[in-house]
Amino acid sequence: MLAVDENEPMYKFKTEHGQEAGLRVWVAFILGFWLAGFRAELCIFLGALGGLATWYLVSAWRAEKADPKPAAPPAAPPPLSPLGKVFRQPAERFRKLGLSQRLPKIPELPKMPIRERKPRRRL
């Protein structure tokens, strides 16, 4: 999981501006590639790539800084169920001994010999 710096500003994206610009560029690219003589499928695909790129760029360009949310105090752990109480002690012993860090190494498999094949005779 990525750690987010609390001092780093957050951004709020307004996708309406990006969507409108992306669709306009998509249509413009489709017409431009069609007039250049490309196949219809390629015109649509390349236009979609240009439209998506424009959508992302315009959305990022018009993003507004949002105030970071105040950090909530850590919540208290939930009470353990009776079954959780039974299995808590062995799990704690397992962690204290560090058994999870001392896992056995996986042995390397031997390499298979390469057999050279004889060329086939042509009939």
- Higher confidence at residue 55 or residue 123? 55
> Which SS3 state, helix, strand or coil, does residue 52 take?
helix
Is residue 1 very low, low, confident or very high in pLDDT (cuts 50, 70, 90)? very low
Indicate if the pLDDT at residue 61 is higher than 60: yes
- CA 112 vs. chain centroid, Å, equals 36
When mean pLDDT is compared over 8-22, 37-51, 79-93, 104-118, the highest value belongs to 37-51
Closest CA to 51 of 78, 24, 15, 79: 24
- Per-residue model confidence as pLDDT tens digits over 9-46: 666 666 677 888 889 999 999 999 999 999 999 999 99
| Beta-bridge partner residues of 12 | 64
CB of 14 closer than 8 Å to CB of 65: no
How many CA atoms, within 13 angstroms, populate the side-chain half-sphere of residue 80?
Answer: 8
One-letter amino acid for residue 22 of the chain: G
Say how far apart CA 28 and CA 5 lie, in whole Å. 40
Task: Say what the pLDDT of residue 107 is.
Answer: 76
